[in-house]
Structure 1
């Protein structure tokens, strides 16, 4: 996967000393060539890993039309393939003023001011084991907005060799930020937003969701099915055997049921599941890859809502046609009660229950 930054614009959102109102100032677009590799890497990876939520844009309840932020997307984003921003500075100015307005209302009035960084980057999926045709490479574009606050720190003055207090921004610990998958947004897909709303932001974080005009998406059945599919995909990609894959699904099912039954919790952390499936240090890359698959391919957030009934599929084989429905435990294949013939694509069931045998004999 190759990431490339295309636009970076920083807006200052400061509170006026006289009345406390937040005011936004946007200047020139940042020259990408002046950014260090470290900053580029942080900006393009800041929405990977734990703590990600997913959501969709809301609409005006009265007329069903997009809210202010999405209106600006429609106005400023080219949808002709490369998803470039028309007049990036003007777009950043518009959205920074939207955020400043939210800082002047409701919970936002007690929020700190800071800097809104608006940037566009793309990811190109390249398989290093195959010769790639540049015209057929899959490229996805993401528009990101991160709100950074100055934090206090300590440094050492090299001339005087004394401690000095400094203020800085921290890209390693993001409290408020959103990433919009422009490809999916253009195709009117679900769950186009990934965002971080740090725990330390408390109730104040609601103003950031209002600024975006979005809501968190929670679908218990879809989340549970997507979790199963993500586990199966990482197992297939890493060559994990079917038996091991089944055991991993069984392990996750037991953990999820424990959260539901014993902790009254219908949600689990994707990061916790990742570390449970791949706990050893040498598996860290696989754990990270699993997170990437779950977040990017299945649009899961780090907090997954659970459906108890759907969790049954983690421990059973299931399928149906218009004529019949079949379901059996995975261990039935190993204890001899069910046999699968790959060549003829047939299943043989043994030790049928007596009531079923009696019903069949009547036929």
Structure 2
């Protein structure tokens, strides 16, 4: 993971209305193993975070100047240090206006992963700990506490520059305690939500369920395809990459690699060729299936306890809100 540029500034700010004080670094950080390790750990923590959102820049303006500064840096009109200084001064200003915010070390890192360029921005905090020094004394020590990563964003620079129609080249942490905690950081980036990750994932899973039902697959085959989908989507989410529908289609059915992709297109589910996978939604997805003696039942695990109830003592399933097609067939038979 080549690191093109990296710098850290410090903003001292307490959540009591006191002014934010900026300590800006004047030069980039030199390449080192420590920086590479820190950025690798940061990426792992960021990818594992749930509750992220995906979006795009607002149009550049005095309210949202960040994208203009980033473009000027990428076009060579200013260097990385100047760009980061402009950005962190804007963040300092927004911090002062937000009584919910606290300061911290602000990391800017431009790096390459595979053929893609990224810019990561994160507000980092320290935790107190202890260490044993060279003379075997136990001494206080501070360390970066990535478990407290609550304000961070990652910009896919390559996607932004090469795909004018993309609405998901920025990802950012929305925060556990409601939107207001992260609103000022989102406004600092100048980002608006463009893609509903959980919603897109639910639509993908619905499309898959419809596909499995239309194919009338044996139970084992349906289970294997479900495992292929969840495994691939989860691995993409783990490394912070989107789910490619064509690639997924090939993994689901190697003999007919276009079958699932064609199903999505023909039924017009409204999915983009690539979607961000939501880990929480994926974790809730599992299919219960069974067939025998003329009966075939298949449903998703998240329906258990809501639309479907399992009465183990009486060996019964109670189904509420029947699918419209099934209900209509039963009504016609009754008539």
The bucket for the TM-score relative to the shorter chain is 0.5 to 0.7
Residue of structure 2 equivalent to 1:68 = 65
Q: 2: CA distance between counterparts of 1:151 and 1:177? A: 18
Could you tell me whether the CA contact under 8 Å between 1:13 and 1:23 is conserved in 2? yes
Residue of structure 2 equivalent to 1:289 = 235
User: Quick check: 1:145 aligned with 2:145?
Assistant: no
Could you tell me whether the CA contact under 8 Å between 1:120 and 1:142 is conserved in 2? yes
RMSD over aligned CA atoms reads 4.6
Residue of structure 2 equivalent to 1:123 = 113
Q: 2: CA distance between counterparts of 1:57 and 1:87? A: 23
Instruction: Give the TM-score, by structure 2 length.
Output: 0.59
2:85 to 82, 86, 93: 93
The offset of 1:44, in angstroms, is 4.3
The offset of 1:165, in angstroms, is 3.2
The offset of 1:89, in angstroms, is 0.6
1:214 to 178, 187, 191: 191
Q: 1: CA distance between counterparts of 2:172 and 2:86? A: 20
Residue of structure 2 equivalent to 1:243 = 222
Q: 2: CA distance between counterparts of 1:104 and 1:96? A: 12
SS of alignment partner, residue 104 of structure 1: helix
Describe how 1:259-338 pairs up with structure 2 within 5 A.
289-292=235-238, 295-297=241-243, 298-302=275-279
The offset of 1:92, in angstroms, is 0.8
SS of alignment partner, residue 50 of structure 2: coil
Could you tell me whether the CA contact under 8 Å between 2:125 and 2:148 is conserved in 1? no
1:224 to 186, 202, 207: 202
Describe how 1:31-180 pairs up with structure 2 within 5 A.
31-33=30-32, 35=34, 37-51=36-50, 53-57=52-56, 59=58, 67-78=64-75, 86-107=78-99, 110-124=100-114, 139-157=115-133, 159=135, 161-162=137-138, 164-171=139-146, 173-180=148-155
SS of alignment partner, residue 32 of structure 1: coil
Q: 2: CA distance between counterparts of 1:231 and 1:156? A: 56
Q: 2: CA distance between counterparts of 1:145 and 1:183? A: 16
After superposition, the C-alpha distances for 1:182-231 in whole angstroms (9 at most, x for unaligned) are 12222130121112345379843322122112244437753323456799
Change over 3 Å in CA distance of 1:36–1:116 after alignment to 2:
closer
Change over 3 Å in CA distance of 1:231–1:99 after alignment to 2:
farther
Residue of structure 2 equivalent to 1:255 = none
Residue of structure 2 equivalent to 1:9 = 7
Count of residues paired in the alignment = 255
Change over 3 Å in CA distance of 1:355–1:200 after alignment to 2:
closer
After superposition, the C-alpha distances for 1:323-353 in whole angstroms (9 at most, x for unaligned) are xxxxxxx989x9799xxxxxxxxxxxxxxx7
Q: 1: CA distance between counterparts of 2:49 and 2:78? A: 32
The offset of 1:38, in angstroms, is 2.6
SS of alignment partner, residue 54 of structure 1: strand
Q: 2: CA distance between counterparts of 1:288 and 1:354? A: 39
The offset of 1:144, in angstroms, is 0.6
